[in-house]
């Protein structure tokens, strides 16, 4: 059973009280350690911050991801659960897969803010709605999964690392195998979409970059950098790549520039043993969205949302919008999108890493290829580039649009309230 409060009620309560709960520090790196059953937190530059998760029931944690509520979700393979943590490092909820008789290895948030969990035992894909209620289970046609590698593509398809078959499999949400990428992959694990929408795949001691159609356009990394028995991969601030690795010398995180140039290794001296999944904490704004809805058979209507939460992680290519109004009320913004949570994928751009502005452009992840009327967002985030070009956001503005054959919604977004 899922024990957390409904996201919408929680957001409304916080806004009404004027007090915001503690937030994870944006740009911080979080690493699941399957050997110690803990979560490690590091600064973007590799400095150790803390560990948490002891006594929470974590057992062989694997994939980790931040949800639209700002909480960290962790796949606990040994207990057949997904465990939810708040920014204080406290367990605040859990999802049980198949009565605990399962092997949740990877997880991602997808269309409508639903959580998708890859079960390596069946194998199967579990889907949970925003209330934590199981919304479906789809058996996958094939694949041998044993890593945290799972990511949504811009077309709504899921990409998963097949360690047994030395390939990456592309599925639709019905579990149908669409395509596979193999090249010369060996033990593929972590997955991430990076520059130009290319798919990056971490293997045993090498990262492969795939363009559309499964064509390899570059590789980087080797065992001399510390890459060995790699599991997790995430794109962090300034487009840098972070990979979790194990082997002789203990667990570690290996960091590369966006160009594939080696930067550093860290974590071994801080106690990492068997690191697996990685995640970068997002920045989150409370925003006002003001727009107009035009339908062919109705007068133009003003639709406004004063307490939307917009979040994005540097380098992740994913933006989430949480709406607190009513899906069933035509005057409320959520009714236009038929959902209280939008998950959009796109890209982040800037003039340079020293720039004081970041531009995010993203399109809503479709549930099926034939879906129409998907939302698009363009957001300009103003802040300050600090040491090493690390960006600290301060305020946000942009546009949100949606159109289909019957209606058009066009809105402006404004916020100077970063949730801290």
Tell whether 165 and 252 lie within a shared domain.
yes
Tell whether 144 and 213 lie within a shared domain.
yes
Tell whether 276 and 294 lie within a shared domain.
no
Tell whether 139 and 260 lie within a shared domain.
yes
Q: What's the confidence (pLDDT) of residue 89?
A: 97
CATH of the domain at 324: 2.40.160
CATH of the domain at 103: 2.120.10.30
CA 390 remoteness from chain centre: 20
Asked if residue 1 belongs to a domain, the reply is no
Contact 340, 305 (CB under 8 A): no
Tell whether 257 and 369 lie within a shared domain.
no
Question: How many structural domains is the chain composed of?
Answer: 2
Q: What's the confidence (pLDDT) of residue 290?
A: 95
Tell whether 270 and 146 lie within a shared domain.
yes
Asked if residue 367 belongs to a domain, the reply is yes
For residues 93 and 2, give the distance between their C-alpha atoms in angstroms, rounded to a whole number.
6
Tens of pLDDT, residues 106-144: 999 988 889 999 999 888 899 998 888 888 898 887 778
Contact 64, 279 (CB under 8 A): yes
For residues 285 and 305, give the distance between their C-alpha atoms in angstroms, rounded to a whole number.
13
Domain carrying residue 363: 284-418
Tell whether 197 and 340 lie within a shared domain.
no
For residues 2 and 13, give the distance between their C-alpha atoms in angstroms, rounded to a whole number.
20
Contact 352, 341 (CB under 8 A): no
Asked if residue 25 belongs to a domain, the reply is yes
Asked if residue 414 belongs to a domain, the reply is yes
Q: What's the confidence (pLDDT) of residue 19?
A: 44
For residues 25 and 27, give the distance between their C-alpha atoms in angstroms, rounded to a whole number.
6
Cα angle 95-71-93, degrees, rounded to a multiple of 5: 30
For residues 306 and 168, give the distance between their C-alpha atoms in angstroms, rounded to a whole number.
42
Tell whether 110 and 253 lie within a shared domain.
yes
Tell whether 289 and 361 lie within a shared domain.
yes
Tell whether 276 and 289 lie within a shared domain.
no
Domain boundary among 280, 299, 317: 280
Asked if residue 87 belongs to a domain, the reply is yes
Cα angle 190-230-248, degrees, rounded to a multiple of 5: 165
DSSP letters, 346-370, are EEEE-S-TT-SEEEEEEEEPPSSTT
For residues 250 and 267, give the distance between their C-alpha atoms in angstroms, rounded to a whole number.
9
DSSP letters, 158-206, are EEEEETTTTEEEEE-TT--EEEEE-TT-SS---EEE-GGGPEEEE-SS-
Asked if residue 221 belongs to a domain, the reply is yes
Tell whether 253 and 309 lie within a shared domain.
no
Asked if residue 152 belongs to a domain, the reply is yes
Domain boundary among 215, 248, 280: 280
The per-residue pLDDT string of the chain (420 residues; one tens digit each, 9 = 90 and over) reads: 343 334 444 444 444 334 456 799 999 999 999 999 999 999 989 999 999 999 999 999 999 999 999 999 999 999 999 999 999 999 999 999 888 878 999 999 988 889 999 999 888 899 998 888 888 898 887 778 888 889 998 788 899 999 888 999 999 888 889 999 887 898 999 999 886 788 999 988 899 999 888 889 999 999 999 998 899 999 988 789 999 999 777 899 999 998 999 999 999 999 999 999 999 999 999 999 999 999 877 788 899 899 999 998 777 778 999 998 667 777 788 888 888 899 998 877 765 666 788 888 899 988 775 566 789 999 999 988 776 667 888 999 999 999 887 889 999 999 989 998
Domain boundary among 230, 255, 280: 280
Cα angle 55-119-211, degrees, rounded to a multiple of 5: 115
Tell whether 342 and 275 lie within a shared domain.
no
Asked if residue 2 belongs to a domain, the reply is no
């Amino acid at each position: 059973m899922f024990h957390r409060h409904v996201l919408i009620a929680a957001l409304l309560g916080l806004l009404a009280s004027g007090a915001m709960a503690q937030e994870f520090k944006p740009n911080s790196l979080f690493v699941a350690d399957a050997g110690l059953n803990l979560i490690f937190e590091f600064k973007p530059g590799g400095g150790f911050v803390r560990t948490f998760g002891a006594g929470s029931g974590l057992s062989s944690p694997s994939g980790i991801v931040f949800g639209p509520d700002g909480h960290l979700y962790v796949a606990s393979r040994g207990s057949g659960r997904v465990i939810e943590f708040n920014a204080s490092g406290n367990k605040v909820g859990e999802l049980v897969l198949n009565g605990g008789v399962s092997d949740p290895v990877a997880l991602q948030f997808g269309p409508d803010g639903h959580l998708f969990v890859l079960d390596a035992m069946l194998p199967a894909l579990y889907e949970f709605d925003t209330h934590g209620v199981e919304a479906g289970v789809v058996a996958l046609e094939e694949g041998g999964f044993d890593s945290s590698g799972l990511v949504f593509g811009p077309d709504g398809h899921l990409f998963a690392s097949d360690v047994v078959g030395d390939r990456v499999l592309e599925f639709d949400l019905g579990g149908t195998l669409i395509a596979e990428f193999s090249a010369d992959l060996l033990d593929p694990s972590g997955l991430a979409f990076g520059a130009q929408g290319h798919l990056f795949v971490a293997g045993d001691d090498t990262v492969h970059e795939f363009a559309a159609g499964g064509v390899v356009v570059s590789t980087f990394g080797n065992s001399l950098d510390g890459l060995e028995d790699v599991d997790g991969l995430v794109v962090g601030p300034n487009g840098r790549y972070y990979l979790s690795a194990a082997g002789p010398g203990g667990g570690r995180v290996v960091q590369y520039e966006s160009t594939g140039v080696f930067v550093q290794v860290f974590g071994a001296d801080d106690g990492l043993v068997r690191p697996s999944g990685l995640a970068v904490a997002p920045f989150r704004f409370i925003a006002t969205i003001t727009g107009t809805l035009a339908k062919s058979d109705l007068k133009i209507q003003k639709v406004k949302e004063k307490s939307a939460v917009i979040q994005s992680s540097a380098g992740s290519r994913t933006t989430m919008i949480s709406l607190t109004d009513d899906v069933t009320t035509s005057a409320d913004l959520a009714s236009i999108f038929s959902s209280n949570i939008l998950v959009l994928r796109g890209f982040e751009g800037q003039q340079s890493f020293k720039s004081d502005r970041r531009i995010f452009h993203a399109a809503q992840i479709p549930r099926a290829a034939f879906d129409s009327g998907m939302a698009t967002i363009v957001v300009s985030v103003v802040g300050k580039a600090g040491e090493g070009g690390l960006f600290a956001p301060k305020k946000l503005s942009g546009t949100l649009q949606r159109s289909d054959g019957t209606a058009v919604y066009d809105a402006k977004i404004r916020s100077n309230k970063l949730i801290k």
